[in-house]
Amino acid sequence: MNTDAIVIGGGIAGLATAHRLLQSEMAVTILERGHCGREASWAGAGILSPLLPWNYAEPVTRLTQLSNKLYPGFIETLRQQTGIDPEYQASGMLVLPDSSTLPPEHDEARYQRNSAEAWCARHALALQRVRSHEIAPALACNEEALWLPETSQVRNPRLLQALIASITCSGSATIIENTEVTDWKVERGRVRSIRTSGGDEYSAACYIVTAGAWSRQLLREYGSKLEIRPVRGQILLFKLPPGMLSPIVLREREDFYLIPRRDGHILAGSTVEEAGFNREATSEARGGLLAKAHTLLAALAEDTLASHWAGLRPGSPGNIPVIDRHPDIGNLYLNSGHYRYGVTMAPGSALILGNMILGQPQPLDVTPYRWPA
Ligand SMILES: Cc1cc2nc3c(=O)[nH]c(=O)nc-3n(C[C@H](O)[C@H](O)[C@H](O)COP(=O)(O)OP(=O)(O)OC[C@H]3O[C@@H](n4cnc5c(N)ncnc54)[C@H](O)[C@@H]3O)c2cc1C
């Protein structure tokens, strides 16, 4: 097999990285344990912003802003290449606030606590104070809220479909599914080959790990300094008539959100659970999310509930991913640890990793995304 790069893991991080390398005429092979785009990237909600952006450190903001700038072109390219519409739209986000608390999973030492107004002004992000019914009249509550009109969303399963279709029709890519990478052959500071559970061996000039929550496990001793871990998230999907709700609604105090899709589907999520690699959807989470959804919008009830699922986010300290070359192994790269915002950060992270491999200048300071030595 003749390939320049092997990408291990076909979620949004792997597919966006492969897409970027293909645009630079590299030949790419993606090895995926199951089916591409069926783990966290499929399970996610598709909001293209941190939930409370002012509470995150600058490296999260910079990567988000870079990706937000790239998103319209990224989507347009995919639409032209494949005809698939990932329903990218600036639906805005209404934040029903309680600025005295941070979401429960936040490690306060690593996060910032900022005034939303001052932060938005500094980062040129539009923000208005409104009554919630001005923006979302169907909500049960009418209270003081923050309105972020520029916040966008994408229908992540469609984005993944478009990426897979674009990569497949590029002519320079091979996607190999149902193939788990299990072993590394490393000699004199370089990966020489990798082996799969089926006993096949693959080699290339460079190897890129994009295995999400499983990245550290896959890298074994080569990833022992990484702090990437699985963090389970559960979400409900309701089906209502279109037009019931148009913005994303975030209940800050409960770290709970509703995301309306164009066709009337509404997602309600999500949990943040340390459950190891267990990605079962539980009845406790279902009950809790259903109650919160119903409190916010009465039409979200048992009879409109269409589905419930769970996914494993690649958790990382401060939500800061690693996008870098291995400190000692010259042809081994990682693009993982995007935690709650892997869909948001996908185009920026892929651009940075691609530039690194191709020796091109970076659009921002990449030192915060270093592989810990
Ligand atoms: C409920 C929920 C809501 C979310 N909401 C949002 C949101 O609104 N906005 C946002 O930006 N992000 C959101 N996220 C986070 C986002 O989904 C993740 O950050 C992102 O999907 C991570 O992408 P990934 O490609 O790194 O991982 P994954 O999508 O998990 O992909 C990793 C892939 O690697 C494969 N793999 C693993 N090990 C191996 C191996 N040994 N060999 C071969 N292949 C392997 C897996 O099978 C998998 O397909 C949410 C996540 C969840 C769970």
The confidence score (pLDDT) of residue 253 equals 80
Q: Which atom of ligand 1 is nearest to the CA of 196?
A: 42
CA distance 327 to 206: 14
350: nearest Cα among 70, 41, 28, 31: 70
CATH 3.50.50.60 maps onto the chain at 5-42+158-228+318-369
- Pairing, β 190-196 against β 181-187: antiparallel
- 95: closest CA among 68, 63, 119? 119
Q: Which residue is it, tokens 């709970």? A: 256
Could you give the CA distance from residue 334 to residue 215 in angstroms, rounded to a whole number? 8
How high is the pLDDT of residue 100? 44
Cα angle vertex 133, ends 130, 134, to 5°?
A: 55
> Hey, CA dihedral for 202, 208, 214, 220, is it positive or negative?
positive
Which pLDDT tens digits describe the chain residue by residue (373 residues)? 679 999 999 999 999 999 999 999 999 999 999 999 999 999 999 999 999 999 999 999 999 999 999 999 999 999 999 999 999 999 999 999 764 444 444 444 444 445 888 999 999 999 999 999 999 999 999 999 999 999 999 999 999 999 999 999 999 999 999 999 999 999 999 999 999 999 999 999 999 999 999 999 999 999 999 999 999 999 999 999 999 999 999 998 888 999 999 999 999 999 999 999 999 999 999 999 999 999 999 999 999 999 999 999 999 999 999 999 999 999 999 999 999 999 999 999 999 999 999 999 999 999 999 999 9
Amino acid at 138: A
pLDDT at res. 1:
63
User: Which residues of the chain are in CATH 3.30.9.10 domains?
Assistant: 92-151+229-316
Task: Return the structure tokens found at 327.
Answer: 């400190």
The answer to whether 234 touches 308, Cβ cutoff 8 Å, is yes
Query: Helices marked H in 144-251 — which ranges?
Result: 156-168, 215-219
d(CA 74, ligand 1 centre) in Å = 19
User: CATH number of 5-42+158-228+318-369: 3.90.1170.50, 3.50.50.60, 3.40.50.720, 2.60.40.10?
Assistant: 3.50.50.60
In the block, which residue shows the tokens 């639906």? 91
- Spelled out in words, what is the top-level CATH class assigned to the domain 92-151+229-316? alpha beta
pLDDT at 99: 41
How far, in Å, from the CA of 76 to the mean position of ligand 1?
23
CB 366 within 8 A of CB 323: yes
**Pairing relation of β-strands 206-209 and 5-8?**
parallel
The answer to whether the CB of 209 falls within 8 A of the CB of 228 is: no
The two counts, helices (H) then strands (E), for the chain are 9, 17
User: Residue 114: what pLDDT?
Assistant: 59
What pLDDT is stored for residue 254 in this prediction?
84
Q: Distance (Å, rounded) from C-alpha 247 to C-alpha 95? A: 10
Probe target for ligand 1 pocket from 270, 343, 344, 353, with the most ligand atoms within 8 Å of CB: 343
- Tokens in use for 183? 């072993």
Q: Which atom of ligand 1 is nearest to the CA of 343?
A: 11
Q: How far apart are CA 192 and CA 189, in angstroms?
A: 9
Q: Ligand 1 test: best mutation among 235, 248, 340, most atoms within 8 Å of CB?
A: 340
* CA–centroid distance, residue 271 to ligand 1 (Å): 15
Query: Alpha-carbon distance 132 to 141, whole Å?
Result: 7
Side-chain half-sphere CA neighbours of 5 within 13 A: 29
CA distance 297 to 140: 6
pLDDT given at position 107 = 47
Spell out which residues line ligand 1, taking CB within 6 angstroms.
8-14, 31-34, 39-41, 43-47, 180-181, 210-214, 218, 233, 235, 269-270, 311, 313-314, 336, 338-344
pLDDT number for residue 125: 96
| Rounded Cα distance, 290 and 311, in Å | 18
